Amino acid sequence: MAFVLTLLGAALACGLELLEAVAIVLAVALTRRPRDALLGAFAAVVACAVLGAALGPVLVANVALAPLRLVVGVALLLFGLEWLRKGVLRLAGRRARSSSFREFVEEQEALEAIALPAAGRPDWAGRVIAFKGVLLEGVEVILIVTALAARPGGLTPALAGAGAAAVATVGLGFLLHRPLRRLPETELKYVVGLVLTSFGTFFTAEGLDVHWPLGDAALLVLAGGWLIISQLMALRLAASPGEPEPARS
Amino acid sequence: MIGLLRAVRKLVLGETVVLPAGIAAAVAGAGVLRAVAGAGGWWEHAGGAVLAGLLVIALAVALRPRR
């Protein structure tokens, strides 16, 4: 059970974050020069790989199991509940639906205002924008996957899910950008929020010496509980007066 | 540079400080309850539900509509 949920959580979180990174790199490549966009993106991937290679072993080697569960749990709660909060706001119509394609178009429009350097000179603006976009999304992926992998038995499903999602998202993003417009990103991000929040609740409680009555199966109960509660929150929010949040990713 | 720092802050804390503050309060409250309950007490079996309840309150507070 934990294996499947870890695989699902890592794959969805990684795939959706990378979809946003691919949208930024594509916008830079199509508006400016593909070579500079890819150089910026490659530098960010290297930086993320170094961070991931350093963070995982340090966490596992230097932190005892109970505090590690607490650290991992709180980290997952920080990400998961934020994704869930945004998901509830989107489902309640209080926030624009998530769309990497809209980000792609907005990024393209912003980039068109920056003049390209002469041919043969490096386009630092394009490189920096691609680097920053991939780095910020990549760091979130590294933190989530590291947190999911840090649990005993979590390494294989977390890496397998993240790896498969990375290959699929980057490949499909570049080859088949238009079909990706039809992805229900809002609903998928909401599911990631549910999965990460369930894991976060589970690990944080274990770190505080709780013994879950059903073992790993308690994860399913937690996911069901968070699903019902967040849906009720979305319904209540949709029915109450208040200002919508400004459109953000 | 300022844009990058803002993005890093958003990455770590999210878009609102209310939620991370609520999570910190929920975990701290759960820690206090565990200490009060002592080893092998009710906390071991019911602590998960208590923590989940505190986290639900944190999410509900972070979702309060703007007036």
Residues shown for chain B: 67
Give the position of tokens 């499903």.
A157
Confirm whether B34 is domain-assigned.
Answer: yes
Distance between CA A170 and CA A177 in Å, rounded? 10
Confirm whether B40 is domain-assigned.
Answer: yes
| Residue of A196, A162, A158, A151 whose CA lies nearest to A59 | A151
Confirm whether B41 is domain-assigned.
Answer: yes
Predicted local confidence at residue A177, as pLDDT: 60
Q: pLDDT class for B2, splitting at 50, 70, 90?
A: low
Chain B closest-CA separation from residue A136 CA (Å): 7
Confirm whether B33 is domain-assigned.
Answer: yes
Distance between CA B28 and CA A155 in Å, rounded? 28
With an 8 Å Cβ cutoff, is A239 touching chain B? Answer: no
Question: In this predicted model, which residue has the larger pLDDT, A126 or B51?
Answer: B51
Q: Name residue A243's beta-bridge partners.
A: B66
Predicted local confidence at residue B32, as pLDDT: 93
Q: Hey, is A248 helix, strand or coil?
A: coil
Global ipTM: 0.86
Chain A positions touching B63 (Cβ under 8 A) are: 85, 88-89, 233, 237
What is the share, in percent, of chain A residues with pLDDT greater than 90?
Answer: 18
pLDDT in tens, A19-30: 888 888 888 888
With an 8 Å Cβ cutoff, is A98 touching chain B? Answer: no
Distance between CA A148 and CA A9 in Å, rounded? 8
Predicted local confidence at residue A200, as pLDDT: 92
Average pLDDT, chain B: 84
Chain B closest-CA separation from residue A211 CA (Å): 6
With an 8 Å Cβ cutoff, is A31 touching chain B? Answer: no
- Phi and psi at residue A32, to the nearest 5°: -120, -115
pLDDT in tens, A140-174: 888 888 888 877 778 889 889 888 888 888 777 76
| Domain total in chain B | 1
Instruction: Give the residue numbers spanning the domain of B30.
Output: 15-63
Confirm whether B29 is domain-assigned.
Answer: yes
| Residue of A143, A97, A132 whose CA lies nearest to A25 | A132
Distance between CA A48 and CA A161 in Å, rounded? 17
- Phi and psi at residue A198, to the nearest 5°: -65, -45
Predicted local confidence at residue A110, as pLDDT: 75
Q: For helices A124-149 and A65-91, what crossing angle results, to 10°?
A: 120
Point out the residue among B12, B20, B51 whose CB comes nearest to the CB of A204: B51
pLDDT along chain A (249 residues), means of 10: 82 83 83 87 90 77 75 89 92 80 73 77 85 86 83 84 86 65 76 90 91 85 95 90 61
Chain B closest-CA separation from residue A161 CA (Å): 22
Chain A positions touching B48 (Cβ under 8 A) are: 201-202, 205, 210, 212, 218
Contact between B62 and A81 using a beta-carbon 8 Å cutoff: yes
- Asked whether the predicted pLDDT for residue B26 surpasses 90, the reply is yes
Chain B closest-CA separation from residue A3 CA (Å): 21
Confirm whether B9 is domain-assigned.
Answer: no
Distance between CA A226 and CA A211 in Å, rounded? 19
Contact between A229 and B56 using a beta-carbon 8 Å cutoff: yes
Burial call A180-207: b when 16+ CB within 10 Å, e when fewer: beebebbebbbbbbbbbbbbbbbbbbbb
Size of interface A-B (CB pairs under 8 A): 98
